[in-house]
Amino acid sequence: MKEKLLNILRDFRQEIDSANSLEEVETIRVAYQGKKGHLKTILKDMGKLSKEDKPVIGKLANELRDEIDATISQKVKEIKQLNMKQKMESEYIDITLPGKRQKFGAIHPTSKIIKRLIDIFYRMGFELTDGPEIESVYNNFDALNAPKSHPSRDKSDTFYFDEETILRTHTSPIQIRTMKRLKPPIRTISIGRCFRNDEFDSTHSPMFYQMEGLVVAEGVTMANLKSTLDTFARELFGEGTNTVFRPHNFPFTEPSAEVDVTCFKCKGEGCKFCSHTGYIEILGCGMIHPNVLEECGIDSEKYTGFAFGMGIDRITMMKYEIEDIRRLYENDVKFLEQFRR
Ligand code: DAH
């Protein structure tokens, strides 16, 4: 029996030496120390031993068990250390290597101006309203008092889907939607894309941005329109900016005006940006025509209002001194990257 035990120890040592993984060690442990392991199997015969042999063999069996236990623990420790070392080596990062440069995007200059416009008008108490780019001929023209003969309605100037549906040519149809939806007092701005069948050149784009302003309440006058636009012009272009109202004609306003502001570049001296006039045209405006108010169900005897519409691209080009509108639509990253700040 003593021999059998020593054989077990010898076999165990061999097997454990060649084990490389925790799984293998576990298999060996079960084979030797488990309930049906070699050691237990042999010790079953202890009862048959003589009185003298029993303690000797018992002691030997205990020593053997302790040795197997200790060897296994030691082996497990070694394998774990080895695994950790291999993992560290495989995940090694050379922190001295040069990094990969992160590319940051920039906000598009038109988006920056839009944000600025919203900020300015929010502070004056205006709310933002919206309308679709695909509009009815009714909202875009008829409800805005444009006669059937108005040149902008021409098939060659406007993108028609069918007789009643177009790509809106301005943001003014949002006025109609807003006045039909809300009751006075109304004080809103609306921003969006508009479409006209223009050739793409340095000052024209078939798709462009406009901002519309609308105020309807009791007792609104041209003086309110003027002070609103004066305040706006000074906020956007700086103190000392003057506005000039020139009489004009729009079907949806009466009286109507175009508004020029002091040239941002020469401050009124005259330069190439303002064609040496000292002023730059930025918008159209006027007192809302009674026909338009009535069309939207607003009593034109009780309420008056003003409206204005401006080209956002134009303003963006002025603010950032961009000389060609096409730059705003080309998605040229080299160009757009300049607007990081
Ligand atoms: N819708 C006009 C345009 O596209 C601009 C405009 C002029 C809007 C006068 C207005 C306005 O609201 O009152 O040229």
pTM across the whole model: 0.72
pLDDT for 43 equals 77
d(CA 108, ligand 1 centre) in Å:
25
What atom of ligand 1 comes closest to residue 309's alpha carbon? 8
d(CA 336, ligand 1 centre) in Å:
29
User: Residue 42 pLDDT more than 80?
Assistant: no
Q: How far apart are CA 96 and CA 75, in angstroms?
A: 36
pLDDT for 274 equals 86
pLDDT for 223 equals 97
d(CA 213, ligand 1 centre) in Å:
9
d(CA 309, ligand 1 centre) in Å:
4
- Main-chain dihedrals φ then ψ at residue 153, nearest 5 degrees: -80, -10
Mean pLDDT value across the chain: 92
User: Residue 69 pLDDT more than 90?
Assistant: no
**Ligand 1 binding residues, C-beta < 6 A:** 170, 172, 212, 250, 253, 284-286, 307-309
d(CA 176, ligand 1 centre) in Å:
13
Alpha carbon dihedral 90, 92, 98, 101, in 10-degree steps, equals 70
User: Residue 115 pLDDT more than 80?
Assistant: yes
User: Residue 217 pLDDT more than 80?
Assistant: yes
Which residue out of 172, 196, 283 has the highest number of ligand 1 atoms within 8 Å of its CB and is therefore the one to mutate? 172
pLDDT for 226 equals 97
Which residue out of 198, 252, 291 has the highest number of ligand 1 atoms within 8 Å of its CB and is therefore the one to mutate? 252
User: Residue 222 pLDDT more than 80?
Assistant: yes
pLDDT for 102 equals 84
Q: Which residues contact 171 (CB under 8 A, 6 or more apart)?
A: 131, 190, 191, 192, 194, 210, 211, 212, 309
Q: Which of 40-44, 100-104, 195-199 has the lowest mean pLDDT?
A: 40-44
Mean pLDDT of 148-174: 94
What atom of ligand 1 comes closest to residue 171's alpha carbon? 1
pLDDT for 13 equals 87
Residues 289-326 pLDDT 10s:
999 999 999 999 999 999 999 999 999 999 999 989 99
Which 8-state DSSP code applies to residue 50?
Answer: -
pLDDT for 47 equals 79
